[in-house]
A and B are shown apart, each in its own frame.
Chain A
Amino acid sequence: MFLVTPEDVVAASARLTAIGDEVDELHRHLSGCRSAAAGTPTEGAFDDLLGHFSAMLPHFGLAGEHLGVAVAGAGMSYSRCEGGLADACEAGQGGE
């Protein structure tokens, strides 16, 4: 038993799918601060954390993209179901 408005689900998926690109942009932005801590005692910790963020951000983008793609798939499925039901109803009415 479920309730769904396929158009809303599809619209939501578009917003979520864009997350991958948005995170990529943030990732590029962050890469600009390499070696900012050179010559200071923070250099090791700074570089470690920058490397950590750089390694993790693609996974965030991927998570958003996965969510968006999954919702998009759901929306398409619902739309097809709805279309199929509509066709079935029309066929049923035509048969009467």
Chain B
Amino acid sequence: MSQADVGFRVPGGDAGSMADAARRYEIVGRGLEAIGVKVHGTQATLTGAWQGQAASSYHDTSSTVGTSFHAAARSAATTSAALRRYSVELEHCQREGIISKHQAERCLAEIQTQTRQLSSAESDANAARAELGAAAHDGAVAHGAGSLGAASAAAADRRAATARAALTDAQSRERCSRQKLAHLQEELAQWQAKGRRAEEDAHAAAHRTAAVLRAQTVAPPAVLAAAGAAPAAYPAVTPGPGQAVQVQARPLAGAGPPVNGPISHSSRGKVEAMVRFADSVVGLPYVWGGGHGGWGPQPGYDCSGFVSAVLHAGGYLSQPVDTSALVGQPAILAGPGHVVTIYDRALPSASGHVIISINGQFYESGGSSGPWGGGGGVAKIGTPSPAYLATFTNVLHPQGL
């Protein structure tokens, strides 16, 4: 028996997986919180050991970074709490839905049985009435024949008595079946109402949870916001002549807090189209200039041809561009996106490269897995290290994503 037959559906989804996701977000939240505490704690330990203009710049930067970690930790914790609550609500609603479904199915099966029995009783009653009528007619004829028909009259009376008994039994079964049917219909309605309530409760819980999730934004530390501008701490610690700083952190140019909010429902279609396209060409070889001749099928892609084609699948770019031309393209904005981020090293040399992250999955063609100009083909790659990402000069995202 299908779920539709009972008039409601058991809420879908895996409450266990949801609870697991809640635990993972909790761990991430605690981890981010711990890092935030470490950043602030490290700052505190240096209060006496480091003073001056550079120290002041470091303190400002450190405060910003630590605060961003704390904010992200709160977001992860809020997400975890929402998912945990939803997993409990979903599990409860599914349990209620399953019980209601089983009971409704039982009621429906019993209703079918009782309907058949009622039909049988009605048929028996009709047959008994017909027999009773025939016996009464035969009896009347026999009684009219006087003593000659005495035997037939007695036989007709016996038939009539038997028919009356059968009619009484059939009518009794008929009443019983009707009562049971009425009770079963009432019980079915109750289970259906309970099942629909479980379905509605699960739906409401899902929408409450989705609203909480959509309200979460995670902004990376603002220290990375200023394109090409190192935090003030760096120049402030520049030593005297002849003693250059050997290790110099280089901020991601253009990287910073996302400038757009969580993506809209319509934007999700763009992301899905980009993923579909990217996945469809994974495995194609690296081909110098590949993808730059147009948007049609290609035997292979170079890095910028591939990223251009992925962006085009999402409705961006009117023509393929190379690494040095991505910045400034219409609807290609500075900073990381919520779900799509482009890491572009716009150098007019063999070191130029571009990779793209969609929903946290990184893709590239001919990148770090091989020498530029002939390394790995189009591939999904693991999350690059911060050091590798730091080699890209522009961090961009498609508008709305």
Binding site for B on A (CB under 8 A): 1-5, 8-9, 12, 15-16, 19-20, 22-33, 35-42, 44-74, 76-78, 80-81, 84
Complex interface: chain B residues within 8 A of A70 (CB): 58, 61, 230-231, 233-234, 237, 248-249
Are B220 and A63 in contact, CB atoms less than 8 angstroms apart?
A: yes
Question: Within 8 Å CB of B338, what residues of A?
Answer: 48, 51-52, 55-56
Complex alpha-carbon distance, A70 and B65, angstroms: 13
CB neighbours of A69 from chain B (8 A): 247-249
14 pairs, CB–CB < 8 Å, chain A vs chain B: A30-B25, A33-B21, A37-B13, A40-B206, A50-B359, A53-B76, A56-B218, A59-B221, A60-B221, A66-B224, A69-B247, A71-B58, A73-B247, A76-B245
Is B86's beta carbon under 8 Å from chain A? yes
Inter-chain contacts of A81 with B (CB < 8 A): 239-240, 243
The answer to whether B49 and A42 touch across the interface, beta carbons within 8 angstroms, is no
Minimum C-beta distance from A72 to chain B (A)? 5
Q: Contact check: which of A1, A42, A49, A73 meets B234 at CB < 8 Å?
A: A73
Contacts of A48 in B (CB 8 A): 213-214, 262-263, 268, 338-339
| Cβ-defined partner of A73 (8 Å) among B237, B271, B389 | B237
Contacts of A72 in B (CB 8 A): 247
B50 lies within 8 A of A8 (CB): yes
Could you tell me the distance between the alpha carbons of A38 and B344 in the complex, rounded to whole angstroms?
33
| Contacts beyond the supplied A41-B203, A70-B248: 18 A-B pairs with Cβ under 8 Å | A3-B49, A8-B46, A19-B39, A30-B25, A30-B28, A33-B25, A38-B14, A42-B206, A48-B268, A49-B216, A55-B359, A56-B72, A56-B258, A60-B32, A60-B68, A74-B233, A74-B245, A81-B243
Residues of B within 8 A of A8 (CB): 45-46, 49-50
Contact B39 A49 (CB under 8 A): no
Which residues on B sit within 8 Å (CB–CB) of A37?
13, 17-18, 21
- Residues of the B chain whose Cβ atoms lie less than 8 Å from the Cβ of A78: 237, 239
Query: What is the CB-to-nearest-CB distance from B325 to chain A, in angstroms, rounded to a whole number?
Result: 23
Cβ distance A52 to chain B, nearest Cβ, rounded Å = 5
Residue of B50, B255, B339 contacting most chain A CB atoms (<10 Å): B50
**Interface membership of chain B positions 191-217, coded 1 if the CB is closer than 8 angstroms to chain A and 0 otherwise:** 000000000000100110111011011
A75 to B386, CA, bound (A): 21
Q: How far is the CA of A49 from the CA of B341 in the complex (A)?
A: 15
> How many angstroms between the C-alpha atoms of A66 and B248 in the bound complex?
8
Give the chain B neighbours of A52 by CB distance below 8 A. 216-218, 258, 262, 338-339
User: Which positions 347-396 of chain B face chain A at CB distance < 8 Å?
Assistant: 357-361, 383-387, 389-390
Interface contact B220-A24, CB-CB below 8 Å: no
Which 9 A-B residue pairings sit nearest by Cβ, starting from the closest? Answer: A54-B360, A2-B52, A59-B220, A40-B13, A33-B21, A51-B359, A74-B237, A8-B49, A45-B210
| CA A63 to CA B71, docked complex, whole Å | 14
Give Cα distance in the complex from A51 to B401, angstroms: 10
B308 at the interface (CB under 8 A from A): no
Q: Which residue of B lies closest to A54 (CB)?
A: B360
A15 touches B31 (CB 8 A): no
A47, B359: Cβ atoms under 8 Å? yes
A30 to B336 CA separation, bound complex (whole angstroms)? 19
Is B79 an interface residue, CB under 8 A from the partner?
yes
Q: Which of A31, A69, A72 has the most CB of B within 10 A?
A: A69
